[in-house]
Amino acid sequence: MIKHEDFCEERRQEERFAKNLYVRFTRLEDLMSGVPYRDGQLLDISGGGLCLLAEEALPLGSQLVMVLEFPGWHATTDGRWIATKVEEDVGVLRVVGMVSWVAVSRDRPDQYETGVSFSGMVSA
């Protein structure tokens, strides 16, 4: 595990956007065993990955299956996203990614900031 201050932000290739949303996730091997999804807080997201806050330190290299919900958005059947700005509309994104770094959170030292690089999407 690395220290938060050791993580080099210059390594990011995509612009990150702060989001105050929740993400449900499970490790790929747990999904196959029927272990339920866990909840985490989405700290930021970009085209290449995301950062989430989790209650446990996930092993580096773990493959995660994640479900993100975006209120005010609608996903069309052809894969486009439309901003409706209606809270009842919820776009759901299912993605797979690999844990690339883990650090104890500065703001919540009982939780872990976890960097995940996207590796694919999961169909609905």
pLDDT, tens digit, 9 for 90 and up, residues 70-109: 888 888 888 788 999 888 888 888 999 999 999 999 999 9
CATH number assigned to the domain covering 15-66+77-121: 2.40.10.220
Closest to 57 measured CA to CA, from 118, 122, 4:
4
Going from N- to C-terminal start, the domains of the chain cover 15-66+77-121
Compute the average pLDDT of residues 46-70: 94
Tell which residue, 114, 118, 123, 113, has the closest CA to residue 98: 118
